[in-house]
């Protein structure tokens, strides 16, 4: 597992999501980087912090959390569209031997509804976090 922070990449001068991992998931960034898909958040950089913890910086995706979006009672057709799009991205990752082990309703619903939706914060080499 890990913790995700909103941060600014110094060398790139842009906002990023910075995920700091525990040592058990040090290969997570490499697994995610292999999954090139419009709905998978791209990784900009990976490395090791001075204290030895691995990290990676990825595109910062902001929006309404999926659980909050669903509480707003969107039409059934829209809810089904979101579920289908999430499923499509998971199927893409699964077809390449990558399983997402931490899909949760705190993800960004707005990004799941867009035509080029991105599912942030992949865990254990998955397509979305």
Q: Quickly list DSSP for 75-120.
A: -HHHHHHHHHHHHHHHHHHHHTT-------TTSBHHHHHSTT--B-
Residue 7 is predicted with a pLDDT of: 92
Residue 9 is predicted with a pLDDT of: 87
Residue 76 is predicted with a pLDDT of: 93
Domain formed by 2-113, architecture:
Orthogonal Bundle (1.10)
Domain definitions of the chain by residue range: 2-113
Active site residue 102: yes
- Assess whether pLDDT exceeds 90 at residue 125: no
pLDDT digits (tens, 9 = 90+) for 45-104: 888 889 988 899 999 988 888 888 888 999 999 989 888 988 898 899 889 888 776 676
Please report where in the chains the tokens 């960004």 appear, as a residue.
108
Catalytic residue among 51, 67, 102, 108: 102
- Asked if 6 and 17 count as a contact pair (C-beta separation under 8 A), the reply is yes
| Pick from 107, 8, 115, 2: nearest CA to 61 | 107
């Amino acid at each position: 597992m890990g913790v995700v922070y909103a941060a600014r990449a110094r060398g790139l001068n842009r906002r990023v999501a910075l995920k700091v991992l525990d040592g058990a998931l040090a290969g997570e960034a490499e697994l995610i980087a292999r999954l090139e898909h419009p709905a998978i958040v791209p990784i900009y950089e990976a490395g090791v912090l001075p204290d030895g913890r691995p990290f990676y910086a990825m595109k910062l995706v902001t929006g309404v959390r999926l659980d909050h979006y669903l509480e707003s009672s969107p039409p059934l057709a829209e809810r089904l569209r979101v579920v289908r799009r999430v499923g499509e991205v998971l199927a893409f990752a699964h077809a390449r031997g990558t399983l997402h082990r931490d899909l949760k309703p705190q993800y960004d619903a707005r990004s799941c509804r867009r035509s080029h939706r991105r599912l942030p914060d992949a865990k254990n080499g998955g397509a979305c976090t």
